[in-house]
Structure 1
Amino acid sequence: MLCYWGAQVREGFGLVLAKVKHGDYGIRSVCPKSAVQDMSAGGSFVGFIQDGKVSVLRLRDGKRKQPKLKKDKIRLIVCGGAGTVLLAYGGRVLIMDQSNVCSPLRGLESSQVIQIACGDQHSMALTKDGQLFVWGDNTHGQLGLKIGQTGSLSVQHVKSLCGIPLAQISAGGDHSFVLSLSGVVFGWGKNSAGQLGLGDTTDRHVPTVVNSLNRKKTVSISCGGEHTATLSKGGTVFTFGSGGFGQLGHNSFTDEHHPRVVFELWGSKVSQVTCGRRHTLVSVESSNLIYSFGCGMQGQLGNGEMIKQSVPFPVDLSTVCDHAHMIKKLIAGENHSFALFLKKLGNESKPNPSRGILTVDDRMIDRWVSGRDLWKVIKMDINKVFSSAASLNGSFLKTSCDEHYQTSEEHCGLDFDLVKASFAKLSENERLISEVVKVVQQRLLPSLNSNPAGVEALRLYLLLPELIRGLQGQQRTELTKALASKILDLNPAASKVLEMYWSKLPDEWLKNVVYLFRKESAMLIGRIAVDKLDSDIATHLTKFVRILEMVYQVCRSAHRDITKSDFIIHEVNGLLDVLQTIIEDLNNMSFNLTGQIQELVAQQNYYNTILKNLISLPCIFNLEAKCSYMKNRVWQLQGCFPLTLRRTALLEDCFCQLMANQQHLRGLWLAVFYTEDMRKTDVNKRDFFLNVFKELCAPESQLLMDNDNKTLSWFPTKLRVEKEKYFLFGILCGLAFNNNSVVNLPFPLALFKKLLNVKPSLEDLREFSPVLGKSLRYILDYSDDVKEMDTYFTIEWDGTEVELDPAEPGKKVTNYNRTEFVDKYVDYILNKSVEEVFEEFKRGFFNACDRFLVEMFEPEELRGVLVGNEEYDWDILKKNTTYEGSFYAEHPTIISFWEVFDELTPNEKKGFLLFITGFEKVPILGMSAVKMRVRPLFNFTQDHLPEALTCHTLLDLPVYQNKETLRAKVIEAINHKRGFWEE
């Protein structure tokens, strides 16, 4: 049964064998013998489908047209402002021209269309694989292509929506909308009255998300002439746009630029909403009622009055309709309204699957696995689903409690258990998974959009690693390569959302992402170490590691339970060993072997390039590999920066020469000469660093301020020396780093964080000042319900009173602002109060060493590289010691030496470490990195002291007559002045 009301038209619309029943308020009904399956009303036409046959009535003269169709059976009809579009059951789109001839729409012959929509002068079509096509006028951007794109009679693909699983399309006068499966609303086109719901009146030429409708569980959308209505799953109606005729239902005649709830319908659980040119209809399935509001000047509201109505009122159908019928579809035209009824059969609420895009579900996979379908059919299904990003992104949604409607930048909406189970089923069948892989590799991945319009398009980047994880060999590698490239091609906004999704992934899934890219990286590194030079391998490796670095930073920021060790690729150490071998071969090779030298140099450059790219993404390097890389780099330094110094004027001389050569320091090997003997030895350099830092950090230098315990130093807030000295101080630290020298730099971890642009924390302040740190922690943890504390934002530091909040002097600390207080306190001491001095120090530091080398370390590691540690394991030193010449482990002198060593005091043992290595502390890799060699010293007297060559950790030990003499001489050597003269 069809009910209709509004402007006068041909009685019964010329429907065959239709008897018209007249009711109150101008409402009429007709029950044609052949039921109306679908209908549509446009500005000039009304179209009907009966038994797959189409008839179109021209409203102005009442003439009825019978389109000339061949064999197509029509399922849907849409009448726009200028014409009529038909959709056949096979998915073909037909255009009806003025001569009633229907011809296929060019450009969509090979596509299966499932939905069509028409505006005044433009049309839209949605295909089964989730692609949106448009054609017609584009004056206001209603085609959604881009600014400056003119209209087109041929179909155009809206590429920006690729990958978005669309549920519905709708076209208004000169604007367009689409709705995703998870309720995300996109609009574009004319926006003169705010009909796009974006809060302004600016036209949009590309699909734009209506953010205010996010998470509203939108299930339906309808566009009018210049207004729009949406329906949420719970039955709530939102309207926006032109309200001049009351068509928004807000009890006013004003425009709305944002979606606004129609409160008069609140609680009615609306089931359908449709917009006409200037009026709106809604239906409530539970009560079988229809409400209307807006322009009724032609009777289209069904209330018997020719008025504008700004609030919803029921349309009284009691005289033309009984309770045996239910509303199937509402249609609102320009000056007419229609309600298509069906007899109640008990299953009317079931959705029509033919109107939805193709997605993967359990039943489909079970059919494939069981082989109930022919292989040819299965291949077609796989090709359709796995070649479409939209189809996959619309699959595996978490439907329980409507969770997928919460899809946002923080919530992906996927059911991870369902994904895992589905892909596991596919992986069990080798034939199936091979076909899936082929389609994904050849069709899906090349089609991915690097600038997705919405976050739903990013679900694919969570799905594919789980699919790839079950693969082996070349299949796995090739898909990983393609996926890595696509992830890195994403625009910054999409990449940020993907990182957020990673941070929210279940632990198992996130670890699988890490495992996938780590394993493939390790495999490529293994190939690099044994294969010939291959730039493609190096390129793919860098991409894999970039993604690992992205995930690593996500894990750090989100405090995920995935450790740094999960990212480390130990195969890198092998690559460094290969490079070390090449360097040693070059150093030992005769220069007359030109061809071999050139080959080795090419290999060296190849490995250096790869490692330099990798070291900028340091999450895959363990500490040993980082130190090895630095060592290799130092071995390859070609230049030397000489310092000629007087022992009695160490700081004065080095500062003068550093200032004169500050532009020529980075990447050079330091050589130290003393004017007293002018010998070039590595001992000189180590002695220089040892003593120059003792002078710099001594209280007499006035460069630093000490903490209460005199154990750590920090920059002062009041300068007592020239600012340039901090620049030179930084240069010396940079030179120490560049020359692998451990120095006395008694700073808290905060310094090394700041050098790496990591924000210092309360714990860093607590390291420097335990008492102050403990007090601030007490303030944060204070649990009593006290509104104000006896503390102010006024503090005293380094003899200066400071207002932490200058805008509000004398501000008190309360329960509500205590976090702000502590943050400002820490920030002042570790950042603001020393900003000028630290920036000078930092400038000097990076003036003397490469930033990329520094940034490969974590703050704790950087401190260890420069300062060393105090984990003195003397048993390891003894175990790692080797013997040369006539010495061996059981030699009497060696036995005596270790007996003497074991009897030394802790400070004497530390003094011996300084004597043999030139460093006061243990290198960052621990005592195992100290490989002492001991050899007999010949041509000596019993008064001769043991000698040490620190650059080689070599001890020349005389063969003394007895243990007592050995003890005395070892202690004397430890306490001996290390080459520095006294005045």
Structure 2
Amino acid sequence: MSISRWTCLSLVPEGVAEKIKLAVIFGSSGSDVIFVTTDDEVFSFGPCAASCLGCPPGSFLPRRIDELCGKAIRDISCGIHHVVALTEEGKIFSWGSQNSFGELGHGHSSSTDSRPQQVQGVLNGEKVVAIACGSRHTLAVSDKGELFSFGLNSDGQLGTGRAANESSPRIVPLHNRFVKSVACGHNNSMALTESGDVYVWGYNSNGELGLGHLTNQHCPILLDSLSKKAAIRKIACGYAHSLALSDDGILYAWGTNTSCGILEGKMARKNVLVPTVTQEQLGSISDIAATHQCNLSAACTRKSRVFMWGHLRNQPTPCAVETQFRTVDEVFACFASPAVSPRAISFLEMTQSPLLLSIRNAFNDPTHCDMKIIVEGKAIHVHKALLKIRCQYFRVRLGELWHDSNENTLEVKDFPYNVYKAFLHWLYTDELNVDLEEALGKF
């Protein structure tokens, strides 16, 4: 995707624009920008009256955020009046114009910090690997799989079991579950574990927790009805709806139905209170996106077709509309109101060739696979030819044991599902996403 999709990025000088590797677009008008360059400098600009830019507001000329330059920023997440940035070293910095609820995590709620400061407290010594901001609260995940939260807790969105706001990070009890990613709606929260389970908590008046009722929850609750259906690999939250993508490419949605896209039966006119398969006609899905800043949903299929539904420029559109975009992020540049990014956008990844994207999307896609690997009773869909090309072990195993290539199922008993799936994913993408302690403990 070219940065020209985002109108506000056209204001970046040409010599600087060519270096943008990561950017987030936010604010009530979708015209506030923070971006990171390939030489590890961080800039911001925009009219943001909320002073969330880490520099004096009102300027359309990019200005350096000195506190973040050289820090190797890898992710940025935004609330209404606060911003959180994550470094490669696992430190997080926050700043903003409002701190009445402790949303900055600096240990107080008496004053604002318009310049980035490191969030410390119980996060000292921890390596944070994932962050997410709701409107006025923040979640952070450590490399140990532990979950922390701070900020507004009016509806239980912090998951601490207490009613009080938290001005410093506080650990969220999750029964020793290893959390790998998080997502935040307006005032609700969601966590995804390594085993593919989803936990939910916080505001629930629209059914955005998927628990079958409309009662707020102050502690994380296992979304058991979803766990019984599928192992989940990706989650996303809109303003008042939630999305979950299974390992098999099936999309589930719940919450405000104009954003869920459930078109059949009585649910077509009501909020969806439990995880329900949506947009099944699209086929197997590889990526999803939503943001607490609007009511839009987007999905990309394994065949690289991008669809959108929800509020398209504030027009309710429950039916999925196919686009000519290459990524789900582009949907938000052109059809979200305001035109905000659903996440920090990596422009380096978007330069990947269509061939590599096709190979990436083919992983665990049952549509055209010719082999299943069974681990802990779960199937991983792969392609024999690619395994033999990429791995000596599979060249021998598939060449000698299955010389006629008629066998199409292999059961693996020596490794946990998460570790073996990460290994196979690496063969398709060159990206190794697994907890190293868990993986090394098996060798």
Question: What residue number does 1:78 align with?
Answer: 24
Q: Is the aligned partner of 1:312 residue 2:275?
A: yes
2:45 to 92, 96, 102: 96
Task: Confirm or deny: 8 A CA contact 1:329 1:341 kept in the other structure.
Answer: no
Q: Alignment partner of 2:260: what SS?
A: coil
Secondary structure of 1:240's aligned partner: strand
Q: How far apart are residue 311 of structure 1 and its match?
A: 0.9
Matched, 1:167 2:129: yes
Query: In the TM superposition, what whole-angstrom CA distance separates every residue of 1:232-252 from its partner, at most 9, and x where no partner exists?
Result: 111111000000110000000
- Structure with the larger RCO, 1 or 2 (CA within 8 Å, 6+ apart): 2
Compared with structure 1, are the counterparts of its residues 54 and 236 closer, same or farther at alpha carbon in structure 2 (3 Å cutoff)?
farther
In the other structure, the counterpart of 1:398 is 437
Q: Cα distance, 1:92 vs. partner?
A: 3.1
Q: Distance in 1 between matches of 2:118 and 2:291?
A: 28
| CA deviation string 1:55-101 (max 9, x = no partner) | 336xxxxxx76342442433333344443333334443332303654
Query: Which is greater in Rg?
Result: 1
In structure 2, C-alpha distance between the alignment counterparts of 1:54 and 1:221, rounded to whole Å? 29
Cα distance in 2 for partners of 1:106, 1:220 equals 29
Deviations 1:958-982 (A, max 9, x none): xxxxxxxxxxxxxxxxxxxxxxxxx
Question: Quick one: structure 1 residues 274 and 398, their matched pair in 2 at CA, closer, same or farther if it must change by over 3 Å?
Answer: same
Amino acid at match of 1:263: D
Aligned to 1:330: 289
Q: Secondary structure at the match of 1:231?
A: strand
CA shift digits 1:12-49 (9 cap, x unpaired)? xxxxxxxxxxxxxxxxxxxxxxxxxxxxxxxxxxxxxx
Q: Kindly indicate whether residue 119 of structure 2 is the aligned counterpart of residue 158 of structure 1.
A: yes
What is the Cα deviation at residue 195 of structure 1?
0.5
- Matching residue of 1:274: 236
Distance in 2 (alpha carbons) for counterparts of 1:126 and 1:68: 23
Please tell me whether the aligned partners of residues 86 and 95 of structure 1 are also in contact (alpha carbons under 8 angstroms): yes
Amino acid at match of 2:22: L
Q: How does 1:231-250 map to 2 (within 5 A)?
A: 231-250=192-211
**Structure 1: which amino acid aligns with 2:291?**
A
Question: Are residue 187 (structure 1) and residue 149 (structure 2) matched?
Answer: yes
From the two aligned structures, give the one with the greater strand fraction: 2
The number of equivalent residue pairs is 296
Distance change (3 Å), C-alpha of 1:250 and 1:97 = same
Distance 2:291 2:70 in 1: 32
Classify the secondary structure of the residue corresponding to 2:6.
strand
Q: CA separation in 2, counterparts of 1:190 and 1:118?
A: 14
Deviation at residue 317 of structure 1 after TM alignment: 4.9
- Tell me which amino acid in the other structure corresponds to 1:71: V
Percent identical among aligned pairs is 24
Does the CA contact (< 8 Å) of 1:274 and 1:330 recur in 2?
A: yes
The alignment status of 1:55 with 2:5, answered yes or no, reads: yes
Q: Deviations over 1:935-972 (max 9, x none)?
A: xxxxxxxxxxxxxxxxxxxxxxxxxxxxxxxxxxxxxx
Which residue is equivalent to 1:566?
none
Scaled by the length of structure 2, the TM-score of the pair is 0.61
Gaps (5+ residues) in structure 2? Answer: 48-58, 305-356, 364-433
Q: Following the alignment from structure 2 to structure 1, what is the Cα–Cα distance between the partners of residues 89 and 83?
A: 19
For 2:12, give the aligned amino acid: K
Of 50, 66, 91, the match for 2:10? 66
1:219 and 1:233 in contact (8 A); partners too: yes
Structure 1 or 2: larger helix share?
Answer: 1
1-structure distance, mates of 2:153, 2:210? 19
Q: Equivalents in 2 of 1:167, 1:139: separation in Å?
A: 26
> Conserved in 2, the CA contact under 8 Å of 1:140 and 1:190?
yes
User: Cα distance, 1:147 vs. partner?
Assistant: 2.1
Conserved in 2, the CA contact under 8 Å of 1:122 and 1:135?
yes
Aligned residue among 46, 67, 85 for 1:125? 85
**Number of the residue aligned with 2:401:** none
Summarize deviations over 1:250-308 as a string: whole Å, max 9, x none: 0001100110011221131011111111111111131x221111123xx2111244532
Q: Distance in 2 between matches of 1:173 and 1:262?
A: 23
CA contact under 8 A between 1:67 and 1:96: conserved in structure 2?
A: no
Partners in 2 of 1:313 and 1:90 — Cα distance?
Answer: 44
3-state secondary structure, aligned to 1:249: coil
List alignment gaps of at least 5 residues for structure 1: 1-49, 58-63, 351-394, 404-417, 419-983
Aligned to 2:247: 285
CA distance in 1, matches of 2:184, 2:87: 20
Q: 1:130 to 1:55 in 2, by over 3 A?
A: same
Amino acid at match of 1:315: T
Given the alignment, which residue of 256, 262, 266 partners 1:303?
Answer: 262
**Aligned twin of 2:299:** 339
Aligned positions of 1:526-537 closer than 5 A: none
Q: Distance in 2 between matches of 1:314 and 1:102?
A: 43
Q: Is the 8 A contact 1:229 1:240 kept in 2?
A: yes
Equivalent position amino acid for 1:66 in 2 = S
Equivalent residue number for residue 116 of structure 1: 76
3-state SS of the aligned residue for 1:283? strand
For the 8 Å contact 2:236–2:288, the answer to whether it is kept is: no
Task: Report the counterpart of residue 216 of structure 1 in structure 2.
Answer: 177
Q: Does structure 2 retain, via aligned residues, the 8 Å contact 1:139–1:150?
A: yes
Measured against aligned partners, the alpha-carbon deviations of 1:424-473 in whole angstroms (never above 9, x if no partner) come to xxxxxxxxxxxxxxxxxxxxxxxxxxxxxxxxxxxxxxxxxxxxxxxxxx
Please report the RMSD computed on the Cα atoms of aligned residues, expressed in angstroms. Answer: 2.7
Q: Which residue of 2 aligns with 1:294?
A: 255
CA distance in 2 between partners of 1:349 and 1:89 (Å): 29
Secondary structure of 1:71's match?
helix
| Partner SS, residue 358 of structure 2 | coil
The 1:157/1:54 distance shift into structure 2, 3 A limit, reads farther
Q: Tell me the residue number matched to 1:107.
A: 67
